[in-house]
Each structure stands twice: as structure tokens, then as C-alpha cells.
Amino acid sequence: MHQVFLFPLATGLLFAIGSIFDKYILENKMQDSTSFFFLQSFLAMAIYPLLSILIFGLQFPSLFTMLIILFTAIAANIGFFIYFFLVKNYDLSSVGPLAQTKLLFAIPLAFIFLGEFYDVKEFGLMALIFVGAILTTYSKQRSLKALLLNNRLLMLALLMSLSWALADVPVKVIVGEIGAPSFMAWRYIFTIPVIVIFAILLFKGTVRKAFVQNFRRTIPYALIASLIGFAGMMFLFSAYEFSYTIPSALILSQAAFVFALAFIISRIKSSIIAEKEPLKVYAIRFLGVLLIISSIYFLITGNMVF
């Protein structure tokens, strides 16, 4: 049962390292978020199913489960599309913690679809996470009014988190039928038609030009990021076999890992991550991260159904 705690923590660290690669690539290699979204999608579709099948084999789901997996693929890729846009255009020390706000949506969705019960404390936790999310978007250029009423970063991050929560909630049921490795393989098999539709709509003009021009210098770094993501998802989906909510809470550790790595690297080598906010801004953002991370304790010690 210790896997339900260790696997998500390993996932959080791996995803944080992957985020560092994403930020570096979008600042120094392929500087168009949509082009990079397609590159990472193409790599994932090629690598993830192949590795999963070679290492673990492949189980075939029922027709109904296939439809659910297709839905998760659609929702997940909408989230990733927004994620790469945010990583390109905003500080990683803000985007990284915000990527964990899917718990705001995971709690009510898990209650509706999985029957996991929560009481008033859990809804208080959601409010705490939301306040923390607002604080992580703080910058010296953003006024208090903009922070609360015109916060594009926060709104896009919440949309991203909703997409990822919708993609992940059915996982507990699916992996109970076919296991985590087969789920990963099938999700990326079903990602193929999803990306085809994205490509028809978006892979043209400046997006295609940026992709072709920067492909060679980006591909080594993108491959490393993809392999890190593969390892992280394997840990996470394996943890979902034991519980959905505890891994969803512990994956919030990624918020602390990303914040710390982004802050330290931007101070040591700004060519990798260029964040130039004063220390006061980071102090307020860190308070937001602490509010988000503190929710882990209250969630895993609350009244939950495993």
C-alpha cells in the first residue's frame, strides 16, 4: 500500500524536471507553444504505446471502456495544449503550482462519478487551494484588481486543470479493468485521431514553419522530456490502481518541486529559465504554494473512501 504514497511523489519530481525541460525548450529551441505541442504529441504517440507494450504487453478493453479512454485522450490533450501556452508565456514558478489545481475539480468529479465521499473540510480545502492559486499568479506588474478580476493566467490554468481532472477521474475504473500500462498505451493510441483533428485546425502557416525550422535542434531535448513524462505517468497510473484521490493530492508535491527548481535555476543560470521578479514576488508566490501543498495533509487525513 506504500505505493499509493511513493509513486505520486516520484511522479511529482519527474513531472517537475520535465517542466524544466519544457520551459528551456520553449525559451531557447522551439519558441512556438503550438509547434512544441505537436512535437511532444507526435513523440508521445510513437514512444509511449511502444514502450508500454514492449515492457508490459497489452490488454484489450471493452468497447465502452474504449470510448471512455477516447474521452480522456481528448480532455488530456486540451489540457496539454493550454499548458504549453502557459509555460511559454508565463513564469514557470507560477505555472508549475497552478498545474496542480486540478484537485479543485477532482474532488467534486470523484464524488459524482466514483462515489468518493467528502465533508465540509474538503470543501474548505478547495477554498484554500484557490486562494493559493491566486497568490502564485502574483507579479510586480499585476495590480490587486487584475489579480482578482482580470487574471488571464489563473483562468487559463483553471481550464487546463478542469481538462486534466476530466481526463484522470475515469482512470481508477479503467486501470481496474486493463491495468495502468495498457491504459497508457490505449490512451496514446486514441490520441492519434485527436491530434489529427488538432493538426487539421492548427498545423499550418507559422506553426508548421516554426516546427520544421526548429525540429532538429529541439528533438533531443523533447525526447528526454517525453521519456521523463513516460516514467512519471507510469508511477501515477500505477498509484491510481490503489486510490484516485490520494495520488491526486500527493501529486501536488510537483508544485513545490517546480517552484523550487524554477527559482534556483533562474538565479544560477538564467539562460535555462529566465525569471526576473524581485524576491518579494517569490515570497508571495511561495505562500501560495504552501497553501496548496498544505492541503495534502488535510486531504489524506480526512474522511475518504479508498
The answer to whether residue 232 is domain-embedded is yes
- Residue 280 inside a domain? The answer is yes
Interatomic CA distance for residues 180 and 241, integer angstroms: 7
The pLDDT score that the predictor gives to residue 256 is 78
Q: Is residue 141 part of a domain?
A: yes
Instruction: Note the pLDDT of residue 306.
Output: 34
Residue 144, pLDDT score: 66
| Angstrom distance (rounded) from CA 147 to CA 154 | 9
Tell me, what's the pLDDT at 3? 59
Q: Would you state the pLDDT for residue 132?
A: 83
Q: How many CB atoms are located within 10 Å of the residue 44 CB? A: 22
Amino acid 192: pLDDT: 92
Distance CA 71, CA 169 (A): 11
pLDDT at position 190: 93
Residue 305 lies in a domain: no
Question: Is 13 domain-assigned?
Answer: yes
CB-count exposure of residue 143 (10 Å: 0-12, 13-18, 19+) = exposed
Q: Where are the beta strands (DSSP E) in the chain?
A: none
CA distances 110 to 27, 104, 170, 258, 263, Å, are: 37, 11, 9, 26, 33
Q: Per-residue confidence of the chain (306 residues) as pLDDT tens digits?
A: 565 667 767 777 888 888 888 998 998 889 899 999 999 999 988 888 888 888 878 899 889 999 999 999 999 999 999 999 999 998 888 888 887 787 778 777 777 766 666 666 677 777 888 888 888 888 777 666 667 767 888 899 999 989 998 988 887 778 778 887 888 889 989 999 999 999 999 999 999 999 999 999 999 999 998 888 888 877 777 776 666 556 655 666 677 788 888 888 888 877 777 777 788 888 888 888 888 777 766 765 554 433
Q: What is the DSSP string of 92-117?
A: HHHHHHHTTTTHHHHHHHHHHHH---
The cell numbers describing 121, all together, are: 473540510
The amino acid at residue 70 is L
HSE (side-chain half, CA atoms, 13 Å) at 56: 19
Counts of helices then strands in the chain (DSSP H, E): 14, 0
For residue 242, give its domain range. Answer: 3-300
* 169-202 pLDDT per residue, tens: 887 778 778 887 888 889 989 999 999 999 999 9
Strands (E), 36-161: none
Residue type, 74: I
The 10s digit of each residue's pLDDT in 195-244 is 999 999 999 999 999 999 999 999 999 999 888 888 887 777 777 666 65
Of the candidates 306, 80, 67, the one whose C-alpha atom is nearest the C-alpha of residue 170 is: 67
In whole angstroms, give the CA distance from residue 127 to residue 139: 21
Give me the sign of the Cα torsion angle 193, 199, 202, 207.
positive
**Is 306 a member of any domain?**
no
- CA separation for the pair 252, 101 (Å, rounded): 8
| Number of compact structural domains in the chain | 1
Q: Residue 278: what residue type?
A: P
User: Does some domain include residue 171?
Assistant: yes
